[in-house]
Amino acid sequence: MSFSPIANAYAGTAAGGGSDSGLIMIVYILVFGAIIYFMMIRPQMRKSKEQRQLMASISKGDEVVTVGGLAGRVMQLGDEYLHIEVAEGVTVKVQKAAVTLLLPKGTLKKL
């Protein structure tokens, strides 16, 4: 008589009890796949969709904040780049993808 759990596991599969274990393994894989989808993949897809909508909605005169924390008013708009006025007479050229937040009008006072 052995008290090892490994010996018991081998004994269970040798007796023909392994037919249900394949089905249980498939159920585990499906459950973990669903958990990964709802916890990781779906939120990331939603975030990227919101980012695309934000980039499409930017127009001249909007007040934005970039990834680096730079806040300013959009002065010129291109396909890939924006010109943001961060101070009076100071414009910075940044990529559209760098914009993370669209501020309400009037948030930034006179630059």
The answer on 72 and 40 residing in a single domain is: no
Average pLDDT (9-19) is 55
- State whether 18 and 43 are in the same domain: yes
Rounded to 5 degrees, what are φ and ψ at 17? -85, 10
pTM of the model: 0.63
* Predicted pLDDT of residue 6: 63
Q: Give the CATH number of the domain where residue 69 resides.
A: 2.30.30
Buried b (16+ CB within 10 A) or exposed e, 54-67: bbeeeeeebbbbbe
Residue 93's Cα: distance from chain center in Å?
25
Q: Is residue 108 part of a domain?
A: no
Beta-bridge mates of residue 85: 73, 91
Total domains present in the chain: 2
Q: Is the pLDDT of residue 17 over 80?
A: no
**Average pLDDT score over residue span 20-43:** 93
Position of tokens 């943001």? 84
- In the predicted model, is pLDDT for residue 62 greater than 80? yes
Express each pLDDT in 77-110 by its tens digit: 999 999 999 999 999 999 999 999 999 988 888 6
Q: Answer whether residue 42 is part of any domain.
A: yes
What is the span of the domain harbouring residue 97?
59-103
What percentage of the chain reaches a pLDDT higher than 70? 81
Contacts of residue 60, defined as CB under 8 A and 6 or more positions apart, other chains included, come to: 74, 75, 76, 77
The three-state secondary structure class of 100 is: strand
Name the band, by pLDDT with cuts 50, 70 and 90, for residue 20: confident
Residue 84 in domain: yes
Whole-angstrom Cα distance, residue 33 to residue 29?
Answer: 6
Residues 81 and 95 in one domain: yes
